[in-house]
A and B are shown apart, each in its own frame.
Chain A
Amino acid sequence: MFGLNKKDTSLLLVVAVLTLCAPFILNPFPTDSGMAQFNAGYPDLMQRFVIFGIFAVGFNILFGLTGYLSFGHAAFLGVGSYSAVWMFKLLSMNVLPAIILSVIVAGLFALLIGFVSLRRSGIYFSILTLAFAQMSFNLAYSVLTPITNGETGLQLTLDDPRILGVSATADGSIPVTSLFGLEMRSTYEMAVGGWNFQFSAGYYLCAIIMLISFYIAVRIFRSPFGLMLRAVKCNQNRMRYTGLNTRPYTLAAFVISGMYAGLAGGLMASMDPLAGAERMQWTASGEVVLMTILGGAGTLIGPVLGAGFIKYFENIFSKINDNVLHQWFSWLPDGLEDFVVFVIHPFIGKGWALTLGLLFMAVVIFLPGGLVEGGQRLRNVFSRDKAKDDGTHAPKSHPAE
């Protein structure tokens, strides 16, 4: 189906079902139960899942396939956000032109940066991209203030022209983003028993775009072009000796992944029409690296898993506080309870970044293939015909999914 083999088709279908049914799947606990804080089925968070999923899938096309570790990808996300917001300010509140523009602008920006950075490889490439991203961040904060609105961030105002739309709605407020009249923030709530499922138009737009971009990523992974990129990762010198110029291939991969980042930025601005320079900071670039590695670089599903995992736990861990912990461990004897809470305390709430850092180190040290490799190892442990498997399969090829 769709020009994919059977395995990829089923993977795509699984992802499709998961994303489209996310409002149910992520909402397993009734609203009034104590576990309701673990629900993630509200539009804002689900949108972040898929948007960062797109970002990570795009990053993986560069890092997973070619092995070039870019530390400046957030710049493209920021550029995408800015161009989308400008589109809302100047043209109309329709998200479609905004998203298209953000992809194009991010692509052009990536072409420029990639053209220069890809002259070098390895650590030099990482540092060059880092330098470019920090440069854009600094410029967005200082000189480019007329375009980016500096520290305040770019926001919509009532006196924006909006040629094809209205500057202000009838009741004098700023119009909201929409897709041909379908408001992005409109949400349909469905109450079933104790559950409250929310279906947001914005989320479904993001989800469908993510499915399309995931599909494109699968096609890239399976195409001759993808094979060429893997060859570059394996041994670039050998490719050069065979008379092949690898630059166009790596540059194409860089631009494609930049466009994915721009798409994510555009979607982010479409869901919430503002853009700030902090989206371009190198810590933001670091975050997408974390997502990709955590999920499994070079695999198809890994980055999506990593993005979901990080965003989910970021959200949940930040919400847990000492009171919640005391509730959980109330069955322990008093002194022990306090001790356990005391031990866990640094890792929750504001300490989430600490947990993330430790987790990330653990993954890099023990599980370089990320969650996907972890899953495969678990499956190997539990599968009965392990011995047979080991005999027939080639040793340690790239994980296929």
Chain B
Amino acid sequence: MDAILLQILNGLDKGSAYALIALGLTLIFGTLGVVNFAHGALFMIGAFCAVTVQRILNLSFETVDPTKTDFLGNPLKVQSPYVVDWFGADFGNAIIDWSVPIAILFAIPIMIFVGFAMERGLIKHFYKRPHADQILVTFGLAIVMQEIVKYFYGANPIPTGAPAAFRGSFDFGVLLGFDPNAVIYPYWRLIYFGFASVIIGGVFSFLQFTTFGMVVRAGMADRETVGLLGIDIDKRFTFMFGLAAAVAGLAGVMYAPINSPNYHMGMDFLVLSFVVVVVGGMGSLPGAVAAGFLLGILESFASMNEIKSLIPGIDQIIIYVVAIIILLTRPRGLMGRKGVMEE
């Protein structure tokens, strides 16, 4: 029982990342009808926003500390970050420690801007081209983004720590009456799950309860009619692209402490997120979220030793196997809408 609970928990954080990326992909696909292969790159850029903020906050100047000497007897140079100098030791160090949450504020405008620029500059010209062309051009864009990041940050993963307060693990089992240390779970993953839920809830209520969201949903259902009513639907769809980019970026920012960002992390997630979108059903937002969590949890179940000894290698391929089965039995995916990409 505790093992099952642990696997469900383990699946949640990966599942949240899949769900967030898949949600963005579906938003773009549902509104603009574009298959965005560069979405993983947006996730990666988000993670590198966290890295950048951490680096900026750690910018320091050197002072010579006369009281200390190194082993040769020379006076020791001490690095002290500007932030500490400006705000004092306590507050300054706290800011540095909290660089990942601060990066969220920093990432939102950047990601929205990147999204706008992408849509207006490139994707706009591809609405009328075949899906194959859209896949190819966004694939090329993903390579370009990846290489730019690689140029500036190098090819190695960059560790980006969570705030010290969240570094430990939470003994979940004790709450539910299991033995201590049976179900322990890192705080940050719990926060990631909570954060993802908030974002997903926010996107859904935005679409459901605001006038803007209503118009967007109407546009998803029948773009032409909304246009005939005198609403500039293109502008709103561009905004949705920016929103989708921001969702992917935030998923990336928060993921940085879980997995040190490297330049190809986006591509690794992208393949899986596409599988998630297809399993959930092209163009279905709840489907994307549900499939994201479902596949994340399935993946962590498959990596249990008991199951691995039963079917060796299942943990590596479970997601793809599920996707293949779903596509062949329910071609529209779990919650696919009729008439969306049915060919």
For B239-267 the 0/1 string (1 means CB < 8 A from A) is 00000000000000000000000000001
Pick from B135, B136, B278, B324: contact of A132, CB under 8 Å: B324
Tell me if B341 is interfacial: C-beta within 8 Å of chain A.
yes
A387 on interface, CB distance cutoff 8 Å: no
**B327 contacts which of A128, A282, A361, A368 (Cβ < 8 Å)?**
A128
Contacts of B86 in A (CB 8 A): none
A353–B146 CA distance with the chains assembled, in angstroms: 9
Asked if B298 is at the interface of the complex by the 8 Å CB criterion, the answer is no
Residue of B nearest to A69 (CB): B132
Residues of chain A whose beta carbon lies under 8 Å from any beta carbon of chain B: 67, 69, 116, 119-124, 126-128, 130-132, 134-135, 138-139, 141-144, 236, 282-283, 286, 289, 293, 346, 351, 353-354, 356-358, 360-361, 364-365, 368
Q: Name B's interface SS.
A: helix
Which residue of the partner chain, among B131, B312, B320, contacts A131 with CB atoms under 8 Å? Answer: B320
Q: Which of B129, B146, B316, B331 gathers most chain A CB within 10 Å?
A: B316
Kindly report which residue of chain B lies nearest to residue A359, judged by CB atoms: B140
**Would A365 and B125 be within 8 Å (CB), given that A134-B271, A139-B316, A282-B271 are in contact?**
yes
Which residue of B142, B328, B343 contacts A116 across the interface (Cβ within 8 Å)?
B328
Contact B131 A360 (CB under 8 A): no
Ranked 7 nearest A-B pairs via Cβ: A143-B313, A357-B143, A354-B147, A138-B316, A361-B140, A357-B144, A360-B140
**A357, B143: Cα distance in complex, Å:** 5
* B contact residues, total (Cβ < 8 Å): 39
User: Given A134-B320, A143-B316, are A124 and B327 also a contact pair (CB < 8 Å)?
Assistant: yes
Q: Which residue of A lies closest to B141 (CB)?
A: A361
Nearest Cβ in chain A — how far from B261, in angstroms?
18
- In the complex, chain B residues whose CB is within 8 Å of the CB of A138: 313, 316-317, 320
B183 at the interface (CB under 8 A from A): no
Q: Closest chain B residue to A354 by CB distance?
A: B147
Given known contacts A116-B324, A286-B139, A135 and B317 CB-to-CB distance under 8 angstroms? yes
Q: How far is the CA of A127 from the CA of B328 in the complex (A)?
A: 13
If over half of A's interface residues share one DSSP class (helix, strand or loop), that class is named, otherwise mixed; here it is: helix
Pick from A119, A130, A139: contact of B313, CB under 8 Å: A139
- With a CB–CB cut-off of 8 A, which chain A residues contact B267? 283
Q: Give a binary string over B302-323; 1 marks a CB under 8 Å from any A CB, 0 the rest.
A: 0000000000110011001101
In B13-64, the 8 Å CB interface with A consists of: 35
**Are the C-beta atoms of B133 and A121 separated by less than 8 Å?**
no
B320 neighbours in A (Cβ, 8 Å): 131-132, 134-135, 138
Q: How far is the CA of A277 from the CA of B21 in the complex (A)?
A: 27
Q: Contacts of B131 on A, CB cut-off 8 Å?
A: 122-123
User: Are B312 and A143 neighbours in the complex by a CB distance under 8 Å?
Assistant: yes
22 A-B pairs, CB-CB below 8 angstroms? A69-B132, A121-B343, A122-B131, A123-B135, A126-B135, A127-B275, A127-B278, A127-B323, A128-B323, A131-B275, A131-B324, A132-B324, A134-B271, A135-B316, A135-B320, A142-B316, A282-B271, A354-B151, A357-B140, A358-B140, A361-B122, A365-B125
Check B137 for interface membership: any CB of A closer than 8 A: yes
- Establish whether residues A120 and B143, one from each chain, have CB atoms under 8 Å apart when the complex forms: no
User: Whole-angstrom distance between the alpha carbons of A178 and B132 in the complex?
Assistant: 41
Q: How far is the CA of A69 from the CA of B140 in the complex (A)?
A: 15
Cross-chain contact A67 with B139 (CB below 8 angstroms): no
Residue among A119, A138, A351 with the highest chain B CB neighbour number at 10 A: A138
Q: State A135–B275 Cα separation when bound (angstroms).
A: 12
- Is B147's CB under 8 angstroms from A351's CB? yes
**Known contacts A127-B327, A135-B316, A354-B148, then 4 further A-B pairs from the complex at CB < 8 Å, ordered by chain A residue:** A127-B275, A286-B139, A354-B144, A364-B136
Tell me, in angstroms, the Cα distance from A119 to B331 when the chains sit together: 9
Across the interface, do A353 and B143 meet the contact criterion of CB distance under 8 Å? Answer: yes
- The answer, yes or no, to whether B274 is at the interface (CB within 8 Å) is yes
Contact at A131–B141, with CB atoms within 8 Å? no
Q: Are A365 and B137 in contact (CB under 8 A)?
A: yes
Q: Which residues of A contact B327 (CB under 8 A)?
A: 119-120, 124, 127-128
Q: Are A124 and B135 in contact (CB under 8 A)?
A: no
Q: How far is the CB of B106 from chain A (nearest CB, A)?
A: 24
Measured CB to CB, the closest approach of chain B to A342, in angstroms, equals 13
Instruction: Write out the residue numbers on chain B whose beta carbons fall within 8 Å of the beta carbon of A283.
Output: 267
| CB-contact partner of B274 in A122, A130, A144, A365, under 8 A | A130
Q: State in angstroms the CA–CA spacing of A9 and B124 once bound together.
A: 43
